[in-house]
Amino acid sequence: MTGRPSLLIPIALVLAAAVVPRVFPWLEVVLLLTIAQGLAVLGILVLLRAGQVSFGHGLYYGLAAYAVAYMIRGGVGTDVLLVIPFGVAVASLVGVLVGLFVVRYRYIFFAMLNLAFSMVFYSILEKFFHLTGGSDGLRVPRPTFAGLELERAAFESSLFYLSLGLAVLVGIGVHRYLQSPLGKALEGLKTNETRLEYIGISARGALLVAYVVSAALAGLGGTIMAMVQGVVTPEIAYWVTSGEFVFVAILGGAGNVIGPFIGALVYQVVRLYAAAYAADVWQMILGVVLLAVILAAPQGLVGIYRDLIGRRRSARRGGEGAQ
């Protein structure tokens, strides 16, 4: 699982992602949403490394999105290059505060306390109508891009390449973090926390770092999503959003940093069609797929791919794909 991944696939994916919107312009928004969701899912993946799952990362996704909306509407900072760091900073700051509390808990308590915090935020968004626009949400005016006022299409393209670049950088960063001693401590936390503390590492400290990283990632995704959609509603902080993140993380496979983006891509494309043809049973489809993935392919899509590759090269790297 932790071996040096082949660089071929990630590079091919990024190149394909960079070229495809030039051929099929309608895919640009789909890919932007894929990146936004993929970043948040990457946050979930960091926590999954520690064996923890959060049903509340919609909190950070929504926080950053609303922060962006307020900032642009208030005229405080109306440039993409200011808005993104601000949204990420807000999400990280709240991540530290909430993190200090939730890292004391594990598993179910961790999952449900995160859910509780996100639901608190959700009901604040719903209830304080005069501030948040209630369930109608807030419109997000289009920000400038590095000082330039752009038309919608040009703005989306610029934002897309910026996001793609950010996603690549963040992906590399997270990969290196997970390979670092601090990241390895998360695996230790998953297998045996007491042993981890016996070797002198604070389990809570390691988990707090991971938690803040995951909050920042979800925040980054949220800022992009807010600018792409041009509107923020309380739904983005609802538990369904958080559940989708976890779903995509499992679908893509929690083994490496590419999984979240592949999972998010499959998810967005399927949703595009399912929303049109099977809106009534959308959740059911998600549930069945989730069950199938967990029961039949716990390593996710990336794992299935690896198994296929692994079988071909079984002589050389046979045992690597095993759990």
Residues in the site for another protein, rule: CB under 8 A? 48, 51-53, 55, 101, 104-105, 107-109, 111-113, 115-117, 119-120, 123, 127-128, 192-195, 198, 239, 243, 246, 250, 280-284, 286-288, 290-291, 294-295, 298
Question: How far does Cα 129 stand from its chain's mean position?
Answer: 28
Instruction: In angstroms, give the least distance from the CB of 104 to another protein.
Output: 6
Q: From the CB of 31, what's the least distance to another protein, in Å?
A: 26
Q: How far is the CB of 151 from another protein (least distance, A)?
A: 39
Asked if 96 and 254 touch (Cβ cutoff 8 Å), the reply is: no
Return the number of the residue (42 or 84) whose C-beta is nearest another protein: 42
Give the nearest distance from C-beta 155 to another protein in angstroms.
Answer: 35
271-275 long-range contacts, CB within 8 A, separation 24+: 272/30
Residue number, 239 or 305, with CB nearest to another protein: 239
Name the residue nearer to another protein (CB basis): 27 or 111.
Answer: 111
Q: Which two tokens stand for residue 23?
A: 């051929």
Length of the chain: 323
Closest CA to 226 of 82, 87, 71, 65: 65
Residue 220 beta carbon to another protein: minimum distance, rounded to whole angstroms: 24
Distances (CA, A) of 118 to 6, 68, 152, 198: 37, 18, 32, 34
Give the shortest CB-264-to-another protein separation in angstroms: 17
| Nearer to another protein among residue 208 and residue 226 (C-beta) | 208
Comparison of 24 and 109: residue with beta carbon closer to another protein = 109
Q: Name the minimum Å distance from CB 50 to another protein.
A: 10
Q: Smallest distance from the beta carbon of 70 to another protein, in angstroms? A: 20
How far apart are CB 310 and another protein at their closest, in Å?
Answer: 21
Count of CB atoms within 10 A of residue 113's CB? 18
Residue with smaller CB distance to another protein, 111 or 226: 111
* Contacts of residue 111, Cβ cutoff 8 Å, sequence gap at least 6: 52, 53, 54, 55, 56
Q: Which of 3, 40, 11 is nearest to 249 (CA)?
A: 40
Complex with another protein: residue 294 or 308, whichever CB lies closer: 294
| CA pair distance 54, 244, nearest whole angstrom | 11
Nearer to another protein, 126 or 307 (CB): 126
Helix or strand or coil: residue 103?
Answer: coil
- What the block records as the tokens of 27 is 């895919």
| Whole-number Å distance between alpha carbons of 322 and 82 | 44
Q: Which residue number, 156 or 193, has a Cβ lying nearer to another protein?
A: 193
Distance CA 224, CA 127 (A): 25
Buried-exposed string 198-214: b where 16+ CB fall within 10 A, e elsewhere = eeebebeebbbbbbbbb
185 CB burial (10 A radius; 0-12, 13-18, 19+): buried
